[in-house]
Amino acid sequence: MRPLLLAVSLLAACNATPSNPDVARIAALTPDNANGTTVYADNCAVCHGATGGGGTGPKLAGSAYALDTVIGTVLTGKESMPAFSGTLTDQEIADVAAYVTEDL
């Protein structure tokens, strides 16, 4: 198998995503966890529950999601979750991702 095809196959098999410069840029911002709480309540709680316990969206509380995974999912969406790249600012995405990965 060609090296590039092998790499793409391995990424798909691991359910990983290739590096995204938008994710790296947002991950480099200094998050405001207090604002992340507000962003979560306003945009995420309706599906993931007020305390991250789940609902129509998966449970987030107590899960070990990596920061870059959360940022990427918020940016581009996943399955039934919509993309928030046009709805939230980069700072709001950094804030809510920090809240989800550190405080839930």
Q: How many residues does the chain have?
A: 104
7 assigned to some structural domain: no
pTM of the model: 0.80
50 assigned to some structural domain: yes
pLDDT tens for the chain, 104 residues: list them. Answer: 444 333 333 333 344 444 689 999 999 999 999 999 999 999 999 999 999 999 999 999 998 999 999 999 999 999 999 999 999 999 999 999 999 999 99
- 38 contact partners, CB below 8 Å, separation of at least 6: none
Domain count, the chain: 1
48 assigned to some structural domain: yes
Query: Domain containing 26: what range?
Result: 17-102
4 assigned to some structural domain: no
For residue 78, the one-letter residue type is K
79 assigned to some structural domain: yes
22 assigned to some structural domain: yes
CA 83/CA 76 separation, integer angstroms: 4
Cβ atoms 75, 85 nearer than 8 A: yes
CA 71/CA 40 separation, integer angstroms: 13
DSSP reduced 3-state for 78:
strand
The CATH number of the domain holding residue 60 is 1.10.760.10
Find the farthest-apart pair of alpha carbons in the chain and give their distance in angstroms, rounded: 48
Residue 5 structure tokens: 């095809």
2 assigned to some structural domain: no
